[in-house]
Structure 1
Amino acid sequence: MILAPKLEHVCTLHVDLAPITEMGRGRAGGRRIIPIVGGTVTGPRLNGRVLNVGADWQTIFDDGMAELDTRYAFETNDGAVIEIKNYGYRHGPPEVMAAVARGEDVAPDAYYMRTHARLETGDPRYAWVNNTLFVGTGSRQEASVRVDLFALQ
Structure 2
Amino acid sequence: MKDPRIKDVGDVRTEHLFDLVVDLDDPLPIGPRVLFGAAGGTFDGPRLRGEVVRGGGDWAQFRKDGTMTLDVRLTLRTHDGALVHLSYGGRWVIPADLRDAVADPRRRHEVDPAGYYFRTNPLFETGSPDYAWLNDVVGVGSGYLVDGGIAYRVAEVR
- Whether the 8 Å contact between 1:23 and 1:33 is mirrored in structure 2 is yes
Aligned equivalent of 2:142, options 124, 134, 137: 137
- Whether the 8 Å contact between 2:66 and 2:95 is mirrored in structure 1 is no
Partners of 1:2 and 1:124 in 2: how far apart?
31
Partner of 1:11 in structure 2? 18
* TM-aligned CA deviation for residue 79 of structure 1: 1.1
* TM-aligned CA deviation for residue 9 of structure 1: 0.5
Corresponding residue pairs, total: 148
Give the secondary structure class of the aligned counterpart of 2:85.
strand
Provide TM-score, normalisation by structure 2. 0.89
1:97-148 CA deviation, whole Å, 9 max, x = no partner?
2211113211111101000011110001111100110010001235201011
Please identify, of 89-98 and 79-88, the stretch whose mean Cα deviation from structure 2 is larger.
89-98
Partner of 1:93 in structure 2? 95
Partner of 1:78 in structure 2? 80
Provide TM-score, normalisation by structure 1. 0.92
- Whether the 8 Å contact between 1:91 and 1:97 is mirrored in structure 2 is no
Partners of 1:83 and 1:15 in 2: how far apart?
14
Partner of 1:21 in structure 2? 28
Please identify, of 140-149 and 77-86, the stretch whose mean Cα deviation from structure 2 is larger.
140-149
Percent sequence identity over matched residues?
Answer: 34
Aligned equivalent of 1:62, options 64, 73, 78: 64
Partners of 1:2 and 1:49 in 2: how far apart?
36
Structure 1: stretches of 5+ with no match in the other structure: 25-29
Partners of 2:49 and 2:88 in 1: how far apart?
18
The RMSD of aligned alpha carbons is 1.1
Structure 2: stretches of 5+ with no match in the other structure: 1-7
* Superposition misfits of 4+ residues, deviation over 4 angstroms: none
Partner of 1:40 in structure 2? 42
